[in-house]
Amino acid sequence: MARLTDANVSIAEEIIARYPRAKSALIPLLHLAQEQDGWVTDEAMRHIAELIGVTPAEVLGTGTFYEMFKFEPVGKYLINVCGTMSCALLGADDLMHAAEEELGIHEGGTTDDGMFTLHRAECQAACTEAPCLQVNYRFKFRATPVEVRQLISDLRSGRLDDEVPPHGTLARIRQHIPADRGVGAVDPADVTEPPAWISAASQGGAS
Amino acid sequence: MTSFPWAPGFIEGNRPQIVTSRFQYEDSFTLERYLATGGYEGLRSALARSPQDMHEEVRSSTLLGRGGAGFPAGVKWGLTPEGVYPRYLVVNGDESEPGTYKDRLLMERDPHQLIEGCLIACYAAGLSRCFLYIRGEMALAQERVAAALNDAYAAGYIGKNILGSAFSIDIVLHWGAGAYVVGEETALIESLEGNRGMPRLKPPYFPAAIGLYGQPTIVNNVETLSNLPFIATKGAAEYTAIGTESSPGTRMVAVSGHVRRPGVYEIINGTTTFRDLLYGEEFCQGIRDGNDLKAFVPGGGSAPWFLPDQLDLPFEGRLVGAAGSMLGSGAIMVMDSTTDIPSAALTLTKFYAHESCGKCVPCREGGTWLMRILDRVVEGHGTTDDLDLLLEVGESICPGDMPHAASADLQLEATPFPYKMTTICFVGPSAYVPVHSALTLFRSEFEARVAPSRSRTRIPVTAVGGDS
Ligand SMILES: Cc1cc2nc3c(=O)[nH]c(=O)nc-3n(C[C@H](O)[C@H](O)[C@H](O)COP(=O)(O)O)c2cc1C
Ligand code: SF4
Ligand code: FES
């Protein structure tokens, strides 16, 4: 639990290289740290600061602005019940109550076994499928209280391990720019000319 | 067992499909399907002509931005200062305005269409690097776009000397971490630079002039860019043949709330009316349980509310503006007669108050005040003074006349959009808009709530139930 592993440092370096300025990688790297440990540790933030050449305070300063980064441990499964208008109109409160009852915790809490954290969330861009919720940012659409209980029991028993990775993992496919195809990031200070196809066009034709 | 289906909600109809033409296929997100259905033809057609030519085609298509402001894309691309390079494209995939659901569909179901749109935009406007910013909470969209980018690189559609031309570009997938205000374009740029996602003071920071790393930057919405392959392949004339002159093409519209068939519909722009959408057989088929319509939000949580009086308005920016609201992000939220209006308004005000970045006092303080007072009223602890206080606090965020709808019953005339504001961005005013709409159009519900005889128990937003 701590600094990024060697494997993650290679991933981090690949990410950093895509940006003209390293600090742009800050949010993706915080995600990487959260994927590694389930939450963002102080050691990971220090390590990220070293990797992108800023102070740990800057990493924390940016990180705390964003809801998804957790600076203390959360459950293996983070359940976010949407409470914004369309979901509220169609029974979001009932979903929350069912989850609270099934888990024996209140909104905002984490179960004693560290399996579940329950939050009320904002509009999840699935309003036509209201009421909905996300588990580790995977959707459950048009949910009923009965389904919420079933979902929790499926998660508990491990039946959904293939579908729902532990908290911290978002996309399970990463972008990879092949070295022989990528154009590469250039510091904007080193560029003054129009790009090649614009210059070529002013001399007639792009290809 | 529980399952996690992906990207449901889209409902087809016998209508032109510009951006959803592949949604019928199970494998619509793969390169194979994309190529089998005319994919990357728009890119080829763009590369066969000059960038200026391609830009001109987009300009004459009058493609309007779909992120909320409705600014013509071709005009925006022309706002970069002459001779200043490099220039960047930042794709706004942060979709989080309450009620809005379309960009996530487009990213999950047809990521190559978006990628091709990015390539066409960069080629035409001389943008030399593209950053595709996807909302943090959209794990599957990130995954689908990552896979599509990897495949497109491998096949030579992205990267150095695309299809053997002088056109070379990288598209970089970037993802956020949960903050609504980051959808505002200057906040998006701040976030992409690794900072707290706070909007920049404007002027002078119009991103087209001074954007990412201080360079000229075009910010476009996912849906806007997804229209470009069609325009590049079929031409502006075929595009403008759909819809009206001021609002050509189609639009993705999400209708949610108390309708029989909530869904995302690709509708003909400019002519489809709210009545068509809410009651039409091919659309939402009426209000649930045969109930009456009470009110609807026509353009995302930030938009002033409409009444049944406004049902016959078409989906057209100027007309909707004159009627007191805006089309915004193509999101309609419907409330039937069982809806408790003060509680419904509270869910939106809470959202915007919670999402304030804290940079402007009227938004930071005012939003919280509005939320607390309204909460008190909803809980039955409010007084009539509170109702005046709500309007007073609102006045400090939006001084002067607030836009609102006309009502025959209340003998109220419309006040047109927009409002004045004391804040940097629209988050502050958006906390007030639902309060103002609800209080203006349904004042009696508030007055009943603050009467001392009222019970103090919490009344839910609506009686739960419904036929779908
Ligand atoms: C508070 C706020 C949130 C916004 N959120 C989004 C968003 O999530 N997605 C989006 O495309 N535009 C959003 N916008 C609009 C953007 O600032 C910008 O106008 C848009 O991305 C430009 O793209 P377009 O011209 O293609 O519409 C938001 C604006 C504000 C003020
Ligand atoms: S209006 Fe609110 S969210 Fe927007 S810049 Fe000001 S404080 Fe931040
Ligand atoms: S309101 Fe719940 S997904 Fe939009």
What ranges do the domains of chain A cover? 6-69, 77-157
pLDDT at A112 over 50: yes
How far is the centre of ligand 1, averaged over its atoms, from the C-alpha of B92 (Å)? Answer: 7
Which residue in chain B is spatially nearest to A34 when comparing CA positions?
A: B177
| Contacts of residue B409, Cβ cutoff 8 Å, sequence gap at least 6 | none
pLDDT at B461 over 80: no
Per-residue confidence at B7, pLDDT binned at 50, 70, 90?
A: confident
Instruction: Give the one of A83, A124, A198 whose C-beta lies nearest to B347's C-beta.
Output: A83
Per-residue confidence at A200, pLDDT binned at 50, 70, 90?
A: confident
| Predicted pLDDT at B454 | 45
* Residue list, ligand 2 pocket, CB within 6 Å: B 181, 198-199, 356-360, 363-364, 423-425, 427-428
pLDDT at A205 over 50: no
Same fold, A6-69 and A77-157: no
Percent above pLDDT 90 for chain B:
93
Report ipTM (2 d.p.): 0.97
**Inter-chain contact A175–B462, Cβ cutoff 8 Å?**
no
Q: What is the pTM of this model?
A: 0.95
| Predicted pLDDT at B8 | 87
Give strand pairing partners of B448.
none
Which residue in chain B is spatially nearest to A146 when comparing CA positions?
A: B2
**Inter-chain contact A125–B101, Cβ cutoff 8 Å?**
yes
- Supply the CATH classification number for the domain A77-157: 3.40.30.10
pLDDT at B123 over 50: yes
| Predicted pLDDT at B373 | 97
Residue B34 Cα to chain centre, angstroms: 26
Angle at B179 between CA A173 and CA B250, to 5 degrees: 75
How far is the centre of ligand 3, averaged over its atoms, from the C-alpha of A87 (Å)? Answer: 5
Neighboring chain B residues of A65 at a CB cutoff of 8 Å:
179, 196-198, 357
Percent above pLDDT 70 for chain B:
95
Per-residue confidence at B4, pLDDT binned at 50, 70, 90?
A: low
Instruction: Give the one of A90, A126, A201 whose C-beta lies nearest to B51's C-beta.
Output: A201
| Predicted pLDDT at B455 | 45
Per-residue confidence at B1, pLDDT binned at 50, 70, 90?
A: very low
How far is the centre of ligand 3, averaged over its atoms, from the C-alpha of B391 (Å)? Answer: 27
What does the pLDDT look like over B172-181, one tens digit per residue? 999 999 999 9
| Predicted pLDDT at B458 | 45
CA distance B236 to chain A (A): 21
Neighboring chain A residues of B150 at a CB cutoff of 8 Å:
173, 175-176
Which residue in chain A is spatially nearest to B11 when comparing CA positions?
A: A128
Residue B259 Cα to chain centre, angstroms: 20
Per-residue confidence at B6, pLDDT binned at 50, 70, 90?
A: confident
| Backbone phi, psi, residue B450, to 5° | -90, 0
Task: Give the residue, by CA position, lying nearest to ligand 1 atom 12.
Answer: B67
Q: How far apart are CA A9 and CA A125, in angstroms?
A: 33
pLDDT at B457 over 50: no
Average predicted confidence (pLDDT) for chain B: 94
Both structure tokens of B242 = 């759909």
Q: How far apart are CA A95 and CA B464, in angstroms?
A: 12
Q: Is B155 on the interface with A (CB under 8 A)?
A: no
CATH fold of A6-69:
Arc Repressor Mutant, subunit A (1.10.10)
Q: How far apart are CA B33 and CA B111, in angstroms?
A: 11
- Of the residues A80, A127, A129, A133, which should be mutated to test ligand 3's pocket, given the most ligand atoms within 8 Å of the CB? A127
According to DSSP, residue A158 is labeled T
Q: Is B354 on the interface with A (CB under 8 A)?
A: yes
| Predicted pLDDT at B453 | 38
Neighboring chain B residues of A160 at a CB cutoff of 8 Å:
1-2
pLDDT at B452 over 80: no
pLDDT at A177 over 90: yes
**Inter-chain contact B137–A26, Cβ cutoff 8 Å?**
no
pLDDT at B466 over 60: no
